Amino acid sequence: LMAEGHVVGLTITLVDGDRTVWRAGFGQANREADRPVTPTTLFHIGSTSKTMTAMAIMQLVERGLVDLDAPFTRYVPQLRMLPRFRDDVITVRDVMTHHSGIPGDLINLPEIATAPDSQLDRQLLRALRKQQPVRRAGEAWAYSNVAITLLQNVVENVTGQPFEQYTRRRIFEPLGMRSSSFNDARQPGRKVAAGYRYATGQTVQAVRQPREYVNIRPAGSVYSNA
């Protein structure tokens, strides 16, 4: 399957209940350095990160600090957009379920880039002041990385803690996930699987790509391993 899909490296873990049955690495984490993938090799897990962001919000809901059906601006008063719909109110639930009407991506910002940018959440709030909602809140499902990223501001405004610190102390450390973090800039390059794309011609070749940083952290920046 790896040969068929031109996959350089991957890990697999089989879990039964709360017990790890088997785990292994296949292929190479870095083809140029001839470094094999092992169960400890770190990979970007992409948008699966959103489930961990949702967990952070739901912890605050359980503690009575966040109401899912309250206006989002109760917790993030910095959110302002150009008016389009009269009496439109975006709730926390709307944001978490991709029903907010907030644009999905703002392509003029370094959402995914070759350098880390820890201020992107603030840049998003400034950029949204010049944007209109694309649809009325609660009207339709539409995937929005930008909206999910704003949940970072809910966590930070409610708890007074940086998002990365809160999730590390309240989610990753209690679960024993000591290699996992929303701050992908903290992960040393030697532990991270290199990225490749495939160029097709007379032969198919793996072309090494620069390391990527997901600056919309709550939406997709988590590194983890098997």
Residue by residue, pLDDT tens for the chain (226 residues) are 888 888 999 999 999 998 999 999 999 999 999 999 999 999 999 999 999 999 999 999 999 999 999 999 999 999 999 988 888 999 999 999 999 999 988 878 888 888 888 888 888 999 999 999 999 999 999 999 999 999 999 999 999 999 999 999 999 999 999 999 999 888 888 889 999 988 877 667 788 889 888 999 999 999 999 9
Q: Enter the pTM of the model.
A: 0.90
Query: In the 3-class helix/strand/coil scheme, how is the chain assigned residue by residue?
Result: CHHHHCCCEEEEEEEECCEEEEEEEEEEEECCCCEECCCCCEEECHHHHHHHHHHHHHHHHHCCCCCCCCEHHHCCCCCCCCCCCCCCCCEHHHHHCCCCCCCCCCCCCCCEECCCCCCHHHHHHHHHCCCCCCCCCCCCCCCCHHHHHCHHHHHHHHHCCCHHHHHHHHHHCCCCCCCCECCHHHCCHHHECCCEEEEECCCEEEEECCCCEECCHHHHCCEECC
